Amino acid sequence: MDALIFGGGAAGLWLLADLTRRGHSALLLEATALGSGQTVASQGIIHGGLKYTLQGLLTPAAQQIRDMPGLWRECLAGTGFPNLSQTHVRSQHCHLWRTNTLASRLGMIGAQIGLRIAPQTIPESERPAALANCPGTVARLDEQVLSPASFIADLANQCRGRILLVDPEHDIDFRMSQANAVQQVVLKNGAEQIVLNPRWVVLTAGAGNARLRERLGLDPARMQRRPLHMVLARGTLPAFNGHCVDGAKTRATITSDRDLAGRVVWQIGGQISELGVNQSESELMAHAQSELRSIMPAVSFDDVEWSTYRVDRAEGVTSNGSRPDGVQILQDGNVLTAWPTKLALAPQLAGDLASRLGPPMSTPFDEKIFKDWARPSVALPPWEEPGRVWSSLEVRSSLNRSA
């Protein structure tokens, strides 16, 4: 086998599809549900880098990501590889608006600093209803927003025979060579046991990479976590996807979808979710409501329920704990540990990993040997998780109480 991949989020599944197309013999092992961890909890924006240029500079992060929207657009249209035509695209673009009083430079930033996608300032008549009364400039940005759960399902359906559900703590043994490379991986399925001899072991398990590295005798501290406390709102809300920027900060990033009952659900990130890390759920919900009322005066939040979820971004460690500029790959013998840093960068990560693997050298394995093995399902989006508590907390009353 050429590659044994651990973890079926955006990174692992894109890699599996890519390697299979290149003729590699590859198998993916998933511990729980595909995309659990970050991908299904993410906002699904295929960033083109604008967010990383708000200081007016073409930063290394912006340079790395600027080709991604074009590549994804082809995949989502069914003309690129992998074919993602079954992935639900929530929106073809995001809106961008400012709340500070400085003259807006929207429409110029991206063009000046060499992004592939520049924001286009739009006239008042074309504004979405949600931004009707906003005083500043409003722009449209051709960054697509997709449903991460449907993207994971789409990719997984194309590789089903090469994806297994395996408990990594109990059903996997690693046998190391004297040179400290992984020589064999033993997979157990009840009484059945299969011994694999992978040329490469690739860890794309998000936050799970730390534990896998520990089991392989590698330093788990090469990974960092950056926590977020995200807000969910559901009810009588307009469908909306966009960023509210203030200076060089993204004050709020809002993406929307529909839940199984047909209600519009907003996922709210940006600074709200970063500041929210140190807030309780009720503090964060009250803060989010007051922020949203201030930046979107045209939207009524009277008939809305609120909830929050905590999730960590998992990445390779940086010297000061800040966001890495791009994809990260560590190589230890025949083990590659990888983090895309962004969902949008999953294709680039897969390409970089495939280059490290070199040409295919193993004969394809017979998928029938795993015919009785369990297969993982796709993780549920945060708003569908069973047991989630929703609150109809009224911000004005809670602010009055604390005044």
Ligand X SMILES: Cc1cc2nc3c(=O)[nH]c(=O)nc-3n(C[C@H](O)[C@H](O)[C@H](O)COP(=O)(O)OP(=O)(O)OC[C@H]3O[C@@H](n4cnc5c(N)ncnc54)[C@H](O)[C@@H]3O)c2cc1C
Residues 224-253, mask of contacts with ligand X (x by CB under 6 A): ----x-x-----------------------
Shortest reach from residue 378's CB to ligand X, in Å: 9
Which residues pair with residue 95 across a beta bridge? 140, 242
Rounded to 5 degrees, φ, ψ at 160 are: -45, -45
Please report whether residue 62 would count as binding ligand X according to CB under 6 A.
no
The residue within the footprint of ligand X, chosen from 47, 51, 162, 199 (CB under 6 A), is 47
Considering the complex, state which of residue 110 and residue 206 has its C-beta at the smaller distance from ligand X.
206
Q: Rounded CA gap, 343 and 47, in Å?
A: 9
Among candidates 144, 61, 55, 50, which has minimal Cα distance to 341? 61
Residue 45, interface with ligand X (CB under 6 A)? yes
- E strand intervals along 259-302: 264-269
At which residue do the structure tokens 């970063």 appear?
274
Among residues 1, 4, 12, 147, the one that binds ligand X under rule CB under 6 A: 12
Q: Nearest to residue 350, comparing CAs of 361, 364, 340?
A: 340
Among positions 38, 241, 289, 337, the unique one binding ligand X when judged by CB under 6 A? 38
**Residues contacting 389, CB < 8 A, separation 6+:** 307
Asked if 276 touches ligand X (CB under 6 A), the answer is no
Min dist. Cβ of residue 35 to ligand X (A): 5
CA distances (Å), 150 to each of 39, 194, 297, in order? 11, 31, 32
Site string for ligand X, 76-115 (x = CB under 6 A): ----------------------------------------
- 161 touches ligand X by CB under 6 A: no
Q: How far is the CB of 283 from ligand X (least distance, A)?
A: 19
Cα–Cα distance measured from residue 46 to residue 62, given in angstroms and rounded to the nearest whole number? 12
| 64 contacts ligand X (rule: CB under 6 A) | no
Q: Select 25 or 253, whichever has its Cβ closest to ligand X.
A: 253
Nearest to 140 by CA among 93, 75, 103: 93
Question: Angle, to 10 degrees, between the axis of helix 10-21 and the axis of helix 148-158?
Answer: 30
Least Cα distance to 387 among 307, 273, 301 occurs for: 307
Question: What residues form DSSP beta bridges with 331?
Answer: 336
Does 11 bind ligand X (CB under 6 A)? Our answer is: yes
Nearest in space to 5 (alpha carbons), one of 332, 313, 338: 338
Looking at beta carbons only, is 104 or 146 nearer to ligand X? 146
Determine the size of the site formed for ligand X (CB under 6 A). 41
Q: Mark residues 313-352: x for contact with ligand X by CB under 6 A, - for none.
A: x-------------------------xxxxxx--------
Stretches 33-41, 104-112, 244-252, 326-334: which one binds ligand X (CB under 6 A)?
33-41
- Between strands 94-98 and 138-141, the pairing is antiparallel
Footprint of ligand X (CB under 6 A): 6-12, 29-32, 34-39, 41-45, 47, 168, 204-206, 208, 211-212, 228, 230, 269, 311, 313, 339-344
